[in-house]
Amino acid sequence: MKKTILLILVCIIIFFLVNPDIISQMAFKIKFGDDLILYVVSDLHYLSEKLYDNGEAFNKYVESGDKLLQYTEVFLNVFKEKVLENKPDFVVFAGDLTSNGSKVSHMDLSDKLSEIEDSGTKVYVIPGNHDLNNTRSIYFDKEEVHRSENISNEDFVDIYGQFGYNEAAFRDKESLSYLAKPNDKVWLLMLDSTKPYPYSGGRLEKSTLEWVKECSNLAKEEDVKMIAVMHHSLVDHSKIINFNYTIDNSKEVVELMHKSDIDIVLTGHIHLQDIKSNEYEGRTLYDISTSCISIYPHQFGQLSYSPWEGYEYKTMKLNMEEYAKTNNMKNESLEKFEVYSENFFKVNCCKNQKNCVEDIESLSEDEKAKVVETVSEMNKMYFAGYRNEALNKITETEGFKLLESIEDCPVKRYAMAILNDERADNNILIINFAE
């Protein structure tokens, strides 16, 4: 028996010795995700449950806004379950961590992020325009709204020290940017693109750009990939709404990203699920904007990286209904969350489009209703990452034909721009190094 096993082993060794190519193919045939998986969450706008009740003031605030703030705690819990289940290597939060920058929200969020880290997944954060020195930090008490304590840049570093700042390999002196080296394959260039409150736009200062060059030199010396993360858009994601979304010095930063051999910049802020690329001297740079997790369809991004294969980005949705069922939560909105949230989006995130349609005199009331339904559906799909031919079913509706027939107006321009974008599906991107 022993002789037979020995003979088989010798045959296997001889087989591989005479076929060395097979060994090399086996060694390099590592599939996406075998190496490294990162989750990216953007624009959580977390509001601590300590800061609101179910009173008139809070309900009015939610109804006048675009985010389901009453469920940010639940969004975070559902996301945490995804992390515990799939165990990504790390999670990055691309800014606008909190709804209005209240210290209480930041502190409670930090505790929640600790729970994620306890599961073995490293968390990294950067601030967004809502998070620092926010003078609109508020809390709600029945029919009243009161000011709540906000936080400074220094407080941010203290509160989130465990999530990037304490273990940063290299910090920028002039901003809250830092370089994280979670492993020897990929470094994270966490960029603070915020301007002082109340400015909602973004930019990277000259000194920060010099610091990025130093980070880039280090990465090149050690032959490591850098993935950048920042709150504001690196390049324009929309033909219509870019002011205060794209960083002011986009052109300069794009060139620096190329020269730094960065392939991907993960961003948020505009709340759109959108991927744009930029070509420079034969290489391609991608700005992947992950949509707001607190707005329909409540998704986050998964980025897989293999040094041998390339990158794969795809979105994953939070399953709120399943969470409500598993946890026996008796809440009608949560139990039918898909319909509830979709309806909230169409009412609360399509107000501008609706008002614009109401002003079109050539349409009857019935026709206006059809156009509003079509435009709201298009807008919902647009924010979820779908454009062009992915909206073919909508362009066959009567509402769309009516929209086509009217004179040029903002809502028509907006809708038509959705059908003429860079890519149809912004929920997936595969970058293959072999190509």
Would you say 288 or 363 has its CB closer to Fe ion?
A: 288
**Spatial separation of the C-alpha atoms in residues 191 and 208, rounded to whole Å:** 9
Distance of closest approach, residue 63 Cβ to Fe ion, in angstroms: 21
Distance of closest approach, residue 376 Cβ to Fe ion, in angstroms: 23
Residue 385 three-state SS:
coil
> Which residues of the shown chain bind Fe ion in the complex (CB under 5 A)?
96, 128-129, 269
Distance of closest approach, residue 269 Cβ to Fe ion, in angstroms: 4
Distance of closest approach, residue 192 Cβ to Fe ion, in angstroms: 13
Residue 317 three-state SS:
strand
Is the separation of the CB atoms in 181 and 226 below 8 Å? Answer: no
Would you say 45 or 103 has its CB closer to Fe ion?
A: 45
Cis ω on the peptide bond leading into residue 198 (within 30° of 0)? yes
Q: Which residue has the tokens 């041998």?
A: 308
Would you say 233 or 341 has its CB closer to Fe ion?
A: 233
Distance of closest approach, residue 349 Cβ to Fe ion, in angstroms: 15
Would you say 110 or 129 has its CB closer to Fe ion?
A: 129
Would you say 129 or 289 has its CB closer to Fe ion?
A: 129
For the record, the structure tokens of 25 come out as: 């193919």
Is the separation of the CB atoms in 94 and 268 below 8 Å? Answer: yes
Distance of closest approach, residue 231 Cβ to Fe ion, in angstroms: 6
Distance of closest approach, residue 392 Cβ to Fe ion, in angstroms: 32
Would you say 122 or 276 has its CB closer to Fe ion?
A: 276
According to DSSP, the β-strands at 225-230 and 264-267 are parallel
H runs (alpha helix) in 40-180: 56-64, 72-86, 103-118, 153-159
Distance of closest approach, residue 292 Cβ to Fe ion, in angstroms: 9
CA 207 → CA 81, 173, 204, distances in Å? 39, 8, 8
H helix or E strand, kind and range, residue 429 = strand 428-432
Would you say 131 or 312 has its CB closer to Fe ion?
A: 131
Bridge partner list, 279: 284
Edge-first strand order for the sheet with 36-41 is 122-126, 90-94, 36-41, 299-306, 310-317, 428-432
Neighbours of 296 (CB within 10 A): 24
Distance of closest approach, residue 94 Cβ to Fe ion, in angstroms: 9
Would you say 237 or 368 has its CB closer to Fe ion?
A: 237
**Spatial separation of the C-alpha atoms in residues 152 and 205, rounded to whole Å:** 19
N- to C-terminal Cα separation, the chain: 49
Distance of closest approach, residue 233 Cβ to Fe ion, in angstroms: 10
Would you say 126 or 318 has its CB closer to Fe ion?
A: 126
Would you say 135 or 217 has its CB closer to Fe ion?
A: 135
- Pick from 110, 108, 134: nearest CA to 47: 108
| Eight-state DSSP code of residue 264 | E
H helix or E strand, kind and range, residue 41 = strand 36-41
Is the separation of the CB atoms in 130 and 101 below 8 Å? Answer: yes
